[in-house]
Structure 1
Amino acid sequence: MALDTTQLNSLGFPKPPSETRVVVAMSGGVDSSVVAAQLAEEGYDVVGVTLQLYDHGAALAKKGACCAGIDIHDARRVAEEMGFPHYVLDYENIFKDAVIDEFAESYLAGATPVPCIRCNERVKFKDLLETAKDLEADCMATGHYIQRKMGANGPELHCAEDANRDQSYFLFSTTPEQLDYLRFPLGHLPSKDATRALASKYGLPVADKPDSQDICFVPDGNYASVIEKLRPGAAEPGDIVHADGRVLGTHRGVIHYTIGQRRGLGIGGLDEPLYVVKLDVDAKQVVVGPKEMLATRTIPVREINWLGDEPFTSQKEWHLSVKVRSTRPPTEAVIRPISETEAEVELMVAEEGISPGQACVFYANEGSRIFGGGWIWRGY
């Protein structure tokens, strides 16, 4: 017998909110606080959970981070004011093993990692999601700006209504099983101002709190200093070499450079502007060349998470759009599966500065649906 969808509550369950338990992942910021407050006001059985991901003492004074120090305190205050239970889970070891260590290794291998994706994939949507199930929650809600819509074949992942806030690039690895359990109550909002208006409406103490910036465990965006602490001796000097083989100077460690970098190379006085086109970790070389060497149309991608209705390998080619960096708009591409988790992506228009370690996320050419994505995995 078909379910009468008019009887579903706002989270999609055929029962009253009071009988629907939802775990809200609370970072201490305004977004997840609004989600928790809104669901509590609607009468849901809300349980707030905050993860302590790294040393709380070191992070206490750092503004603009998440999941440590003052943020844990802010999440607890919101829970107290809205009258629902709140738990803090110590995930420091899990976070270090699953996110920070790989971040360091990727950087040392000359890649440009995106640890926020790994955190969602390996910590928040894996261990925390299992904790939510252990708490007998019907679902888990987060403050991410992305939409979950029901399609003919089950839940689909869609971009946020507000393109300026869309977090789809960081959530491409959400699996169909996770998507079935997750809810994203903010994805349909037109702007961040609308979120802050809700925070004010609920009288939340974090209504005017600034957005988090940078990677939570990287103060002031200084990746190299974090790597040096994690891997002493990683910043060994070497040569800056032109792609034609000329040695142009020396550098103070490969970890201080990224693909596409032009400034701060210390090799002025040359006739042409030069960019970092390759990081050769084994040879301790930073390879530079003209801008056109940064352009590429063919990208090898692996660890693919596919969110299409048909199996990934059921077609020889998928004509979709892809994002190769979070700040760039999607561009048309042809995706050719090699296996269920590997593919070659051909861009219709060459992109510059594509780096191993970045994500390649798949989007519909028209509409807002996300078809998953994978990781760019080797140099050019």
Structure 2
Amino acid sequence: MMRSEIHGSQSKILTVENLNPRVIAVKYAIRGPIAIRAAEIDQQLKKGDHNFLFDHLIRANAGDCHASGNQVPITYIRQFIAGCSYPPVMKTPDFPLDIKCKVERLLSVCGGGSLGSYTEAPGIFAIRQDVADYIHRRDGHPSNPEDIYLCDGVTNGIRTVLKLMMNNDMKKPSGVVSDNFEMTPVPQFPLYSATLSEYGAYEIEYYLDEDNNWALNTEELERALNKEKDNCIPRCIVVINPGNPTVSFHSASKGWYGECGSRGGYYELINVDKDVRMQLNKLISPVCSTSWGQAIMDAIVNPPEEGKPSYKLYEQERTDVLNQLREKASLNVAETLISLRHRRRASLAEIL
């Protein structure tokens, strides 16, 4: 019997009508109509379509620095990953000795001396120690590597932590106080609101103070809580100002490194009950985060030391990227957008 005869005339077993309603409730603007249309235009441009007022498209919605073509990868990070992935490359005469030593150190704690082996669920301990040392240098306060969890990008880490707090057996849904994502332009990445919809939680929106450089206002927090306290039981607050992620989460996707596709990140848990930590360890135990993402995170938090062979080029490239980002940040985009808004009509070329 032909496959079409088996399936063609029968209705589908799984449909939108009987799909998990929480899945339907999830909305990711990054995958919304603007992003879909951008993908269509991108394909048309690649096929030689000249019906647009531009010849290439920049996906600014995802914050992918490398994809923009204006931020090049840092040589130190790529050499470190190259050495970890294919150790014979370190035999080349121009391979920096300090990077070689770091590669050998990391591979010595990997199963079979290979980065392709499984790691501990929280991540390779040596890398977690490097992260703890980095936090100590940055904040001036000791950090415990046992509090560090490496993850497949900070998104996965945030979802894991939020999952711990969602208690759907309560009489009221769990509530999470979060920034109102409507304050950011669309397309955006509404990780928190989408995750809360998936988990069946209740979102309490609070507004940042636009006139005070988008600061957090305690009176506004009290207003938001008082408004929604009858609808849910507040469990946590998300503070992501001045940027996302901040506080205990760190991503390999941002800043001067911009290694989005590596899916590297970590989070630090402080003052957490030991029994809760045991439950977290159980939750993440089925699979470890990608070892390549862990290695890139290690390179980020453990940069070359001054005087080492790779330091000069690393510092030069890092400074160049930061200067470029600083220059772009100084562009008065806000005034330009406001001027367009007050005009009756603006051409597509101006808007783009």
TM-score range, shorter chain: under 0.3
User: TM-score, normalising length from structure 2?
Assistant: 0.22
Larger relative strand fraction: 1
Q: Flag the structure with more relative contact order, 1 or 2, with Cα contacts below 8 A and sequence separation at least 6.
A: 2
User: TM-score, normalising length from structure 1?
Assistant: 0.21
Larger relative helix fraction: 2
Larger radius of gyration: 2
